[in-house]
Amino acid sequence: VTIEVVDPGPLASVQDPIGRPGWRRFGVPVGGAADAWSARLANRLAGNPDETALIEVTLGGASFRVDVAGMVAVAGGLAATIGGRPTPRGAGIRLTAGSVLRLEPSDGVRGYLAVNGGIAVETVMRSASTDLRSGFGGHEGRALRSGDRLAVGPASGTPARWTGTREAGPIRVVEGPHPSALAALVSGEWTVGAEADRAGVRLDGPVLSGSDAVASMGLPLGAIQVPPDGRPIVMLADRPVTGGYPVPACVIRADVGRVAQIRPGDAVRFEMVSPDEAAAEWRAAEDALDAVEPLGQMADDEELGWIGSHR
């Protein structure tokens, strides 16, 4: 089975939900899917193990074709259509040979296209993820282009449907190691700025103060750095290994993927929680991910049969 990139849209790349932890002392970012939670959901819907490699699509306008019939799934902030018709959200999709799946703009920034069997690329430093900045991993170390053909691994597992819900309230944060700007950060009204990518999201809003440099230190996922210009940056998957600016707060691990889905210009509000609450929210997000059930034969006939007949 291969999947062909008909149109990658603004940016599409091969990622996995884990990235490549363990190499940061050599300067290598963790990387991986920017919204790992949605990537894992896409994998579960497609019948894959969580850590399977898939395609991360940015902003929509992307389309893909499979050469033979297969099971795929889309999760995250984009919607999927086949021949202009929407597909049911939160469920595996059976694609017939040659049919084209499009990912369209919806309520977020990134969509995850999982294919049953997974995208089969050679792992580099134990991960299938593309490091776009340094040019290794994934498919030839680069963003996908029209005409790329990606091999798919052997079919396995059972496609599923999801019945859970995802938290939609404020972005929760815990106190960081340099809390002087914490109150201003949490009380501020922010919008995601134009400078938003897989490494981080810059926020527009009140200018924060008290931003003397600190000694370069390792940065956890979700750390909110305040550089000298006073405009905070939420650090995401491709963040550099170290940073030298104060960190008044960290986005909780349950919400980092949600930050990666906020579109430039959209509002962001923060809410302080305790570390214990953060851990509880992580478990709640895991429970929501577990709300999947196998796609039965009924579902296949009722919801999915028509997809195959189209095109």
Partner 1 sequence: VIRPFGESALLVEVEGPDRAQAIAAKIAARPIEGVVEVVPGLRSVLVEIEPGGSGVGLRDAIEARMATAGEHAPVGRERTVPVVYGGEHGPDLDAVAALCGLTPREVIEAHTGTGVRVLFGGFAPGFAYLGELPASLRVARLATPRVRTPAGSVAIADAMTGVYPAELPGGWRVIGRTPLAMFDPRRDPPAYLVAGDVVRFHEIDASEWEAHSVIAADW
Binding site for partner 1 (CB under 8 A): 21-29, 124-125, 131, 133-137, 174-177, 215-223, 240-242, 247, 250, 252-254, 275, 278-279, 282-283, 286
- Minimum CB separation from partner 1 for residue 35, in Å? 14
Helix (H) or strand (E) holding 218: strand 217-218
- The whole-angstrom separation of Cα 254 and Cα 234 is 14
Nearer to partner 1, 77 or 248 (CB): 248
**Nearer Cβ to partner 1 (120/214):** 214
For partner 1, which is the closer residue by CB, 215 or 298? Answer: 215
- Three-point CA angle 94, 95, 99, nearest 5°: 160
Q: Smallest gap, in angstroms, from Cβ of residue 152 to partner 1?
A: 24
Report the residue number, 21 or 88, with the smaller CB distance to partner 1.
Answer: 21
* Cβ at position 182, least distance to partner 1 in Å: 13
Shortest separation between residue 61's beta carbon and partner 1, angstroms: 28
Task: For partner 1, give the closer residue by CB, 220 or 230.
Answer: 220
Among left, alpha and beta (phi > 0; psi -120 to 50; other), residue 277 is alpha
What is the DSSP code (8-state) at residue 136?
B
Query: Reduced to 3 DSSP states, what percent helix, strand and coil does the chain have, rounded to the nearest 5?
Result: 20, 30, 50
**Contact present, 273 and 237 (Cβ < 8 Å):** no
Pairing of strands 54-58, 190-196: unpaired
> Is the Cβ of residue 186 or residue 217 nearer to partner 1 in the bound state?
217
Min. distance of Cβ 179 from partner 1 in angstroms?
10
Nearest approach, Cβ of residue 221 and partner 1 (Å):
8
- What are the helix (H) ranges across the chain? 36-46, 182-187, 256-259, 275-289, 297-299, 305-309
Give the separation between CA 245 and CA 261, rounded to whole angstroms. 24
C-alpha distances (whole Å) from 137 to each of 24, 122, 251, 269 are 16, 8, 27, 35
